[in-house]
Amino acid sequence: MGDPPPAPDPSAPQPSSRRSSQVSEQRSQERAQLPPAVPDGVQQMPLDAQVLRSSQEILESQANLQSWSQGASLSPYEQLAMFQAEEAQLGGMEYPSLNTGFPSEFLPQPYLDGGGIQVPGNASLMQQLQHGRGNVFQELESAYQEPRPDLLGQFSMYQREDLQFSASAQHGPYMSDDPALQFSPSELGFMSFSMQVPEPEPRELAVQNAKAYLLQTSVNCNLSLYEHLVNLLTKILNQRPEDPLSILESLNRTAQWEWFHPKLDTLRDDPEMQLTYEMAERQKALFVRGGSGEGEQDMEEEVTETAVPNIMETAFYFEQAGVGLSSDESFRIFVALKQLVEQQPIRTCRFWGKILGLSGSYLVAEVEFREGEEEVEEEEVEELTEGGEATEAHGEEEGEEDEEKVTDVIPKPTWKPPPVIPKEESRSGTNKFLYFVCNEPGRPWTRLPHVTPAQIVHARKIKKFFTGRLDAPVISYPPFPGNEANYLRAQIARISAATHISPLGFYQFGEEEGDEEEEGRAGRDTYEENADFEGIPVLELVDSLANWVHHRQHILPQGRCTWVNPLQKTEEEEELGEEEEKADEGVEEVEQEIGPPLLTPLSEDAEILHTSPWTTRLSCSLCPQYSVAVVRSNLWPGAYAYAIGKMNLRCIGYDGAQPGCDFMSS
Amino acid sequence: MDAESLLLSLELASGSGQGLSPDRRASLLTSLMLVKRDYRYDRVLFWGRILGLVADYYIAQGLSEDQLAPRKTLYSLNCMEWSLLPPATDEMMVQTSVVKGRFTGDPSHEYEHTELQKVNDGEKVFEEEVVVQIKEETRLVSIIDQIDKAVSVIPRGALFKTPFGPVHVNRTFEGLSLSQAKKLSSYFHFREPVELKNKTLLEKADLDPSLDFLDSLEHDIPKGCGWTALLGADF
């Protein structure tokens, strides 16, 4: 398009951004969004349906026209005149002058209040549209303030104009199949009206949709297109540079850069908010002694027993073993656990360990609530599942009826999903303890949900790093039922069951209760501390693995500690028709799974690749009289236990079977 | 970890849960000094610890003036007596790739691996089972070499290359700034560069030949899970 735009006509509107922010936004949006989503920009203004429609038509026709090249030979002056007139309608806006719609050059031209709207010649209008996309907004505004009949007149004019240029003359250019249009289907559908006045609602809906789309935040940062354009146009309006369109790209780049590098006040120093400062703030709260009251009372209260264990002592012993976190981190963990104990009704608490993740780690605390303090959440979850089962049963009955009616029926697959094994009750088996996690000492503790057998079974099959966010999805094959919180809980359950050990005799069974003959179940699931335990010499602890026993229940292949027959019919299942019973008869009986009973010595543990799953060490060979016996698990790297007359266990590691090894962990 | 700043580095690296007991720390400090004097190394680094079933290996490396020259590796079972390991060769790598499982902790232990080898006996060709003995020392050497090649990392600016060729420690290096520390491009592999010559001229134009003479971590495959830069008060 070659004619040099003449400057003289003062009142030429231009797609500069000296307008009100609203209009500017629309324009820049239009500019920013290349041909397709042009109508999006329109929604900025609360225009009524007609105005939008006309403007969109203008946009479309403009887009259309742009695909045809410089056919029209309109005099710039005419266009200018036309737009000037429209500008006048808006009133009182000053626009830098602009050359008629040549996309390459837009010379600012002062805006003068002109006369009334003149219905311009079609050709000139079209030319304008062709050249200056932003001009459309001017038309928009003008149209907005015009009385309706004029609008209609313009509208019809535009339509006729479109007909001149468009291939299909049915509804105007917006309905043509021109690939250059690239309008989204919603817009196309929206445009597909004829000469009638459409209902305002679809248009408003489209306005809201488009605005919502613009307000979407970008993937990389928290900025949305809407906000960025607001920033950009405000900046341009404030600075009022000469020839803004030609420096638009650099202005855009500068606005983006400034968003991420906020300007510092040149008179005052603004200290940076660094990550480390924020962390320190959070941890400061830990060190403050909670509660008001007299100092003496506080001291008395704290001397009494607290559920928080003596972490510093255990950290010392683990350090002797060559394991553990630094002492200040241990202290922070201690204070964080103290905070947890204050917040929740906890009877016993233990620092289970730390699990390292890709972008953050987890500190895990193992707690037991006081009697009767179970969360209400458990009940709610159960109700939901029961409701689901009832509806399923109902649905099956209906399905059976339908089948009888239809003669030609697709063969019903005989595969039934394996029955869901119910999870264990709280305070028993795998769910004996509750676990709280947090990312760093100072952050709030999050409670992990109880683990279900299905999750344990699946966790055995996959091996994934933890990311450090509890709500991250676990993408794996076979698909894991749950997110990272569930996977974490399942791994904690597996590690606990496999590696919680104690010296022989430290725990003993209570007096025998119940009948051992009951279905051969491993009936003993409780133990108590042996008051008569005298401790085993450290050397013996190191020499023989038989001196250590597991004090956690083994998890059966089913995923639970106590075996449950999955084929046992519950009351709900019996409501189903006879079909179900027949199917069940064909299935073989499931064998009961039995695992090693509680308090089994370590020497009975299965070997991995001809190596023992445990390694024992003396912590210091130079002074055996004071050293600690350390047992390390070869199955779960990072699980350590020490004993020096007592026992403890800690697990710190990347979790999971050691990468690179060939065996699957049990 | 440099032998001179051993205690500090141990504190900083304690977030992973692996540490050293006080007796080991004390013996390391002492013995590494002696190693440096005896072998005349410019720097002695405590490489780490390899866990074994019966005993653990403590590994140290000695560097000469030229930091990129092949390093000497030493191992010890009790952090006091150090023995030199032979340098790693490719055939060692191949040989030991068949051995799996944990280290036993006994350096003279030999792994047995049966292979089927074709033996020409006159005109007959038959396969014979040959038992190959692989020493644990060899396996140790190749594992250390593999680990070094894969994960030995140094921040940009810590070393610089002189025009004569040798690489020196940069005494003016004060560490990376917070924003630089988060980026993977500010870390290099501490080994002979492999990908450097594959870069385009345009990329090379931006590099500083005295500082950017090693492979960056940025382009390691797999992306996203190969390396993570963690910032934390305790990491």
Q: Do A322 and B18 touch (CB under 8 A)?
A: yes
B222 touching chain A per CB within 8 A:
no
Contact list in A for residue B228 (CB cut-off 8 A) is: 358-359
Q: Do B14 and A321 touch (CB under 8 A)?
A: no
Residue located via tokens 């006996």: B121
Distance CA A464, CA A484 (A): 10
Could you report the per-residue pLDDT of A497-530, keeping only the tens digit for each?
A: 877 777 777 776 655 444 433 333 334 456 666 6
Contact list in A for residue B54 (CB cut-off 8 A) is: 615
Residue of chain A minimizing CA distance to B78: A621
Could you report the per-residue pLDDT of A162-215, keeping only the tens digit for each?
A: 444 444 444 434 443 444 444 444 444 444 444 455 556 888 999 888 888 888
Q: Do A619 and B100 touch (CB under 8 A)?
A: no
With contact defined as beta carbons under 8 Å apart, do B64 and B73 qualify? no
Q: DSSP of A510-563, one letter per residue?
A: -S--S-TTSTT-------EE-TT-----HHHHHH-GGGEEE-SPPPPTTSSSS-
A358 touching chain B per CB within 8 A:
yes
Distance CA A578, CA A557 (A): 31
Query: Quick one: how far is CA A225 from the chain centroid?
Result: 21
Q: Do A319 and B17 touch (CB under 8 A)?
A: no
Contact list in A for residue B230 (CB cut-off 8 A) is: 359-360
Q: Which residue has the higher pLDDT, B192 or A580?
A: B192
Could you report the per-residue pLDDT of A403-412, keeping only the tens digit for each?
A: 455 567 788 7
With contact defined as beta carbons under 8 Å apart, do A474 and A370 qualify? no
With contact defined as beta carbons under 8 Å apart, do B103 and B53 qualify? yes
From the list B17, B178, B232, the residue facing A274 with the nearest CB is: B178
Helix axes A135-145, A21-32, angle to 10 degrees: 140
Residue of chain A minimizing CA distance to B23: A620
pLDDT-derived band at B212, boundaries 50, 70, 90: confident
Distance from CA of B18 to the nearest CA of A (A): 5
Q: Do B15 and A653 touch (CB under 8 A)?
A: no
What pLDDT does residue A199 have?
58
With contact defined as beta carbons under 8 Å apart, do A365 and A445 qualify? yes
- Best of A608, A652, A658 to mutate (most B CBs within 10 Å, chain B): A652
pTM to 2 decimal places: 0.60
CA nearest to A560, candidates A529, A526, A522, A530:
A522
pLDDT averaged over chain B? 80
Residue located via tokens 């076979």: A478
What pLDDT does residue A278 have?
74
Could you report the per-residue pLDDT of B46-98, keeping only the tens digit for each?
A: 888 888 888 888 999 888 888 888 888 999 988 888 899 888 888 888 888 87
Q: DSSP of A395-406, one letter per residue?
A: HHHHHHHHHHH-
The amino acid occupying position A113 is D
What pLDDT does residue A406 have?
56
How many other β-carbons are positioned within 10 Å of the β-carbon of residue A154? Answer: 23
Distance CA A124, CA A12 (A): 13
Which helix (H) or strand (E) segment is A64 a member of?
helix A49-67
Tokens encoding A113: 């209040």
Instruction: Give the mean model confidence (pLDDT) for residues B183-209.
Output: 80
B87 touching chain A per CB within 8 A:
no
Residue of chain B minimizing CA distance to A663: B101
3-state SS, residue A378: helix
Distance from CA of B197 to the nearest CA of A (A): 31
